[in-house]
Amino acid sequence: MAFSGQPPRTVPDDTAVPAHLAINEPRQRRSREAWRRVLEAGIALVERDGYEGFTITALSEASGINPRAIYERAASKDALFLAVYEHKMAQMVEQRDQLMAATTEPGITPTETVRRAVHAVLRLFTDDAAFLRAVMAVAPRHPIVYERGRRHIAVLGDLFAGALEGIAPDPRPLAARLAFRTVYAMAVLRTVQGPDFLAPALGFDEELAHLSEVVERYLQVSTPMID
């Protein structure tokens, strides 16, 4: 998928993982299926109970996998949390790419391009608010999760800016990226504090309309009138 003629960046896997955080990846099909159950159960646990409730015992009960088998794959809670995080982020990357692809659909107006780009960011954070809220809480204590999260957001910012740079007459080279910062900040606020934290409280569609208008005005985007 390309935006503004450039392929989207991926998150480089160059953050060194210490031995105590490394995963002993399964090779047999049955083992891979069992490990996937562990990872999926881990996502649900993080969403429900946060990092504090994310324990080997709870994960074993939720996945039906013996604790010893889990320890054979991950030597510590932090190693397991990192594996669950990466598993969930792989799912979110697929959703991200699908949402951002909608911004390049032929024939849509600049206004609609803005709306779809803003929608992509808000949708990602809204759909996985519980998981992301837990990750944001623990990331400052988990440097690798923090760094990889930062890089995922950098890629999302690249895609957002790439979708809008071609339609914005604003000559400032960083204008589209600064617009992303505004949308990202509001998405994070809604994730951490909830949509009712600020007054007036806005539903998803209202927030989408508001932020789309903010970005349009900031980038001086306008849809030509049709006779």
Q: Is the pLDDT of residue 5 over 70?
A: no
Which of 14, 32, 12, 13 has the alpha carbon at shortest distance from 24? 32
* pLDDT value at residue 1: 30
Are 89 and 194 in a shared domain? yes
* pLDDT computed for residue 221 by the predictor: 85
The residue with greater pLDDT, 3 or 143, is 143
* Predicted pLDDT at 20: 74
pLDDT, one tens digit per residue, over 128-143 is: 999 999 999 999 988 9
Same domain for 212 and 173: yes
* Model pLDDT for residues 34-80, shown as the tens digit of each residue: 999 999 999 999 999 999 999 999 999 999 999 988 888 888 889 99
Considering the entire predicted model, what is its pTM? 0.85
| Domain that includes residue 189, residue range | 82-219
In DSSP terms, which residues pair with 23 in a beta bridge?
74
How many domains does the chain divide into?
A: 2
Q: What is the pLDDT at residue 222?
A: 67
Determine, yes or no, domain membership for 17. no
Do 111 and 204 belong to one domain? yes
Per-residue pLDDT averaged across 196-219, rounded?
Answer: 95
Q: Is residue 19 part of a domain?
A: no
Residue 113: predicted pLDDT = 95
15 — pLDDT class (breaks 50, 70, 90): low
Beta-carbon contacts of residue 180 (< 8 Å; ≥ 6 apart): 121, 156, 157, 160, 161
Q: Are residues 133 and 35 in the same domain?
A: no
Same-domain status, 103 and 60? no
SS (H, E, C) the chain: CCECCECCCCCCCCCCCCHHHCECCCCCHHHHHHHHHHHHHHHHHHHHHCCCCCCHHHHHHHHCCCHHHHHHHECCHHHHHHHHHHHHHHHHHHHHHHHHHHHHCCCCCHHHHHHHHHHHHHHHHHHCHHHHHHHHHHHHHCHHHHHHHHHHHHHHHHHHHHHHHCCCCCCCCCHHHHHHHHHHHHHHHHHHHCCCCCCCCCCHHHHHHHHHHHHHHHHCCCCCCCC
